């Protein structure tokens, strides 16, 4: 996954040596403002998504394992993105080799898992819509957990090269996280392999399955327009119809998520292929600037899923607001308990004061007599 945080360092060092210094300044201003917004908003949204998919009735729903894992992995990527932004704009926190290696490794790891988790829930929807008889056996939560575990193990092993091919290098007044020159040829080969397994292959898989699901959804909507005939099995047909309708709502939400993923990733993928194939022999003035803008679009894919769930997922909306309401009730009950305790103690104090006042006034009357 060559589209990673280390490219930011390389781009900053190069400073667009094609002569477009103004474009570089423009990008730095955009990067300084946009990246923390993407990171902070995405961290809050993905954390809320994890809570909904793991603590509500949606945890028993199909694709919940993939979606919860996707939100967690996206948070990992956004955390490394925020650290690199902070390193460049505020303090050089990645000035030693170990933090540098961890950030680069987690970036590769999270980016690979993110795209293949999208492939995972897209495959689940594809089987549920296009092969409904096989879906119950192939799309259980247990199988999803096994698939996620296999993806995690593969990514952890395959991308270990990011640890021993990266180091913190002194360049000018500060240190930068860069690849070691001795591994340049090796990284060229790894880049091509990573391009295929994390970009080309999943891109075509998602596009193919989305097209099939859209065709099936179109057929479903056509069938919905037909009226039911009055028969004894009307209730059974209606229940089946409602089930299919619910499935289509879930499918619509996940279809939007995967399609938005393709839309926001396509420019950066195109720029990446161009950079590998054409850039070594061609140096245009605005190429680097356009590639950097495509990178910002790529970063946004890690923070937009919560908004898609909240806008189009009715079950997600219901679970999210139930969770918010339960939090309010929990903290409200604790607040009421505190207020009631204070009120009770106040009443006891006032009662004591009244009794003492009564005794004091009685003593005065007796003394007067």
- DSSP-derived secondary structure for 190-209: HHHHHHIIIIIHHHHHHHHH
User: Which is more confidently placed, 163 or 350?
Assistant: 163
Of 103, 37, 105, 119, the residue nearest 70 (C-alpha)? 119
pLDDT at 83: 92
177-183 contacts at long range (C-beta below 8 A, 24 or more positions apart): 177/5, 177/6, 177/9, 177/84, 177/94, 177/100, 177/103, 177/104, 178/6, 178/9, 178/10, 179/6
> Cα 299 vs. chain centroid, distance in angstroms?
10
Q: pLDDT tens digit string along 191-213? A: 889 989 998 999 999 999 999 98
- Token pair listed for 318: 């219901």
CA 300 to chain CA mean position, Å: 9
* pLDDT average, residue stretch 268-293: 75
- Long-range contact list for 24-29, CB < 8 A, 24+ apart? 24/288, 24/289, 26/289, 27/289, 27/292, 27/293
Q: What pLDDT digit, counting tens, does each position of 205-247 carry? A: 999 999 998 888 788 767 766 654 445 444 444 444 444 566 6
Domains of the chain, earliest start first: 6-312 (1.20.1070.10)
């Amino acid at each position: 996954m060559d589209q990673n945080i280390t490219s930011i360092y390389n781009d900053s060092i190069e400073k667009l040596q094609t002569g477009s210094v103004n474009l570089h300044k423009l990008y730095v201003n955009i990067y300084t403002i946009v990246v923390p917004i993407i990171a902070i908003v995405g961290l809050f949204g993905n954390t809320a998504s994890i809570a909904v998919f793991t603590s509500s009735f949606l945890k028993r729903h199909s694709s919940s394992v993939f979606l919860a894992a996707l939100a967690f992995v996206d948070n990992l990527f956004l955390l490394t993105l925020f650290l690199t932004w902070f390193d460049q704009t505020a303090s050089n926190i990645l000035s030693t080799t170990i933090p540098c290696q961890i950030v680069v490794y987690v970036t590769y790891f999270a980016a690979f898992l993110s795209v293949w988790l999208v492939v995972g829930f897209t495959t689940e929807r594809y089987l549920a819509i296009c092969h409904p008889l096989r879906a119950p056996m192939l799309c259980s939560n247990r199988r999803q957990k096994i698939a996620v575990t296999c993806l995690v193990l593969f990514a952890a092993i395959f991308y270990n090269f990011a640890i021993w091919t990266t180091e913190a290098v002194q360049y000018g007044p500060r240190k930068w996280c860069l690849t070691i020159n001795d591994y340049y040829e090796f990284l060229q080969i790894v880049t091509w392999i990573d391009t295929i397994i994390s970009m080309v292959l999943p891109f075509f898989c998602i596009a193919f399955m989305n097209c099939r699901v859209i065709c099936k959804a179109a057929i479903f909507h056509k069938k919905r327009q037909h009226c039911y005939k009055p028969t004894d099995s009307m209730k059974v047909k209606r229940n089946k119809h409602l089930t299919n309708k619910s499935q289509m709502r879930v499918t619509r939400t996940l279809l939007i998520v995967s399609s938005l993923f393709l839309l926001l990733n396509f420019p950066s993928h195109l720029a990446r292929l161009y950079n590998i194939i054409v850039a070594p022999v061609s140096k245009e003035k605005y190429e680097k600037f356009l590639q950097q803008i495509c990178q910002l679009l790529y970063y946004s894919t890690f923070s937009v899923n919560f908004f898609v769930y909240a806008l189009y997922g009715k079950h997600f909306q219901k679970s999210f607001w139930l969770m918010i309401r339960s939090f309010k009730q929990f903290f409200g009950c604790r607040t009421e308990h505190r207020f009631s305790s204070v009120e009770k103690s106040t009443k006891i104090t006032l009662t004591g004061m009244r009794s003492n006042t009564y005794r004091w006034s009685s003593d005065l009357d007796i003394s007067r007599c």
